[in-house]
Amino acid sequence: MSDVRKRSVSPAWLRDAVFYEIYPQSYYDANGDGIGDFAGITEKLPYIRSLGCNALWINPCFDSPFRDAGYDVRDYKRAAPRYGTNEDLYRLFEEAHRQGIRVLLDLVPGHTSEEHPWFLKSGEAESNEFSGRYIWTDDWFKGIPGRPYVGGEYPRNGTYMLNFFKCQPALNYGWLRPTEPWQSAMDSPEALATREAMKDVMRFWLSHGADGFRVDMAGSLVKGDDEQGTGTCAVWRDIRAMLDREYPDAALVAEWSHQQAAVANGGFHMDFYLDQWDNGYHTLLRDGKSSFFRRDGQGDIRRFLSDFMPRYEACKGKGYVALITCNHDTPRACPALTPDEAKLAYAFLLTLPGVPFIYYGDEIGMRYQAALPTKEGGYTRTGTRTPMQWSGGKNLGFSQAAPERLYLPVDPSPDAPTVEAQEGDPDSLLETVRAIVRFRHSQPDLAPDADFEPLEIPGEPRALVYRRGGLYLCVNPSGKEIRLPKDIAGRLASQSCLFAVGVRPEAADARRLAPQSFAVFGE
């Protein structure tokens, strides 16, 4: 097994990557059946490229009963018919590559649907090659302490572990320290067979044009693991070694939000910095009056920095923090933030060290729809998964289907933001995001691994100056002007404003930060 911790960061294309996350059923409906599809994504690739995004992450698109929006996979090697065929997905890869866009698929390695043929075979009474593919106890009356499990549904004499919902039985990658006869060791034949089966799935899609994977619940593989994810990290290092040998240009991003485990120890190229209650990311956008980017709030940038810096340090020389504007599991920033507040938040997130991910619709300020009933296991997440808002036309341009046939209803507000309404307006959120991404691409000092030095302003937690290479970036989301101390102002004195949001570049002052402004100074 190779030690990926000593390797340089690769693949090289990640150093200039700006990702766009697409929830496929809600992006664009090309065939008029009320649900988004591969053809719709392919048709909108020029728009995605116009944002400056040169990489995609597409949420689960494999065959599924869709009890958890596709995170319950029934066939890893077949595209979900609701989106099109395998050939349609291959064409999407091909056209995306022609336009300079990489494509990551969503891999769900920790569990399958209860309808997956592997699981149905594992539930048979007679032993077979799939009996050890999932985690079963050895008696119908024996549960799994501290773990969700189900019994009494299959001929097999045992109960089986769940990884999330009832429909998602846990695949068997072994236990870190087995204590029961029915618990497999990590190096047992059955645990290794599961690992090899997942490698086979990855090879299949990479050989057809995928550029890598976002990995769902990446820390959930080895059971009974310790807080450092020792067992699960070993599995991922083995998988990364396979990729380095066979697909060295493929990228892996973890849904773990544990950069020390995922990147430093597990071999992932990136790990998401997720919105988790009271962590640093949460304090930026979603902490009510205490959100840093609320103009009238009481935010404190130190709450973010104290949580972010250890994550950033853990990734140095090994990989990257993956920064999100939002994702399919997280309430959108709007309406909690106004469009002007969101401009500053996105300018900050898109210029921090790490690889940024823009969630579809965030670039126009789509709003979280809190009142929606659950859809396909979405529950409170459903309001973040509504159709993309393209125009003021029927169904806001998402689909020509009757409204009652839509996957989810569009935003009913008369002022629902759309691409059409914001296109070409330099003051719009859409054009501001485009400008920020263009500026990022133009500046090597904003690469994900370029130097980063936060310069806190003594006694002023409502603003921040941070250095990226030779650039100094200043953000002041508050409603008041903030004077910079002499030592920081001195660093900026001989530099020009290269880019700004909320203030004209020629009006930006290196001695004082205008209210609700973001400015970049450099030579």
451-500: pLDDT as tens digits: 999 999 999 999 999 999 999 999 999 999 999 999 999 999 889 999 99
- Residues 154 and 289: their CA atoms lie apart, in Å, by 51
Task: Specify whether the CB–CB gap between 340 and 516 falls below 8 A.
Answer: yes
The bridge status of strand 102-107 relative to strand 55-58 is parallel
Return the residue matching tokens 């004077």: 483
Task: Specify whether the CB–CB gap between 401 and 33 falls below 8 A.
Answer: yes
Task: Please name each of the domains of the chain with its CATH number.
Answer: 4-110+191-444 (3.20.20.80), 111-170 (3.90.400.10), 451-522 (2.60.40.1180)
- pLDDT digits 0-9 by tens, 100-131: 999 999 999 999 999 999 999 999 999 999 99
Which DSSP helix (H) or strand (E) runs through 369?
A: none
- pTM of the entire structure? 0.96
Give the rounded distance of the alpha carbon of 198 from its chain centre: 21
- Residues 160 and 154: their CA atoms lie apart, in Å, by 10
Task: Specify whether the CB–CB gap between 389 and 44 falls below 8 A.
Answer: no
Cα 290-276-342 angle, rounded to 5 deg? 50
The arithmetic mean of pLDDT across residues 91-105, rounded, is 98
- pLDDT digits 0-9 by tens, 383-434: 999 999 999 999 999 999 999 999 999 999 999 999 999 999 999 999 999 9
Return the residue matching tokens 């591969």: 38
Structure tokens at 253: 């991003």
The pLDDT score that the predictor gives to residue 10 is 76
- Residues 200 and 246: their CA atoms lie apart, in Å, by 12
Structure tokens at 19: 């990702």
Task: Specify whether the CB–CB gap between 108 and 60 falls below 8 A.
Answer: yes
In the three-class reduction of DSSP (H, G, I as helix; E, B as strand; rest coil), residue 261 is classed as helix
Which amino acid makes up residue 199?
K
- Residues 382 and 23: their CA atoms lie apart, in Å, by 11
378 phi and psi angles, rounded to 5 deg: -75, -35
Cα 239-245-249 angle, rounded to 5 deg? 90
The arithmetic mean of pLDDT across residues 210-226, rounded, is 98
Instruction: Name the band, by pLDDT with cuts 50, 70 and 90, for residue 510.
Output: confident
Task: Specify whether the CB–CB gap between 272 and 263 falls below 8 A.
Answer: no
- pLDDT digits 0-9 by tens, 272-288: 999 998 899 999 999 99
CA-based R_g, the chain, Å: 24
Average pLDDT, the chain: 96
Angstrom CA distances, 242 to 4, 202, 235, 237, 249, stand at 11, 10, 11, 9, 12
134 phi and psi angles, rounded to 5 deg: -125, 175
449, pLDDT greater than 90: yes
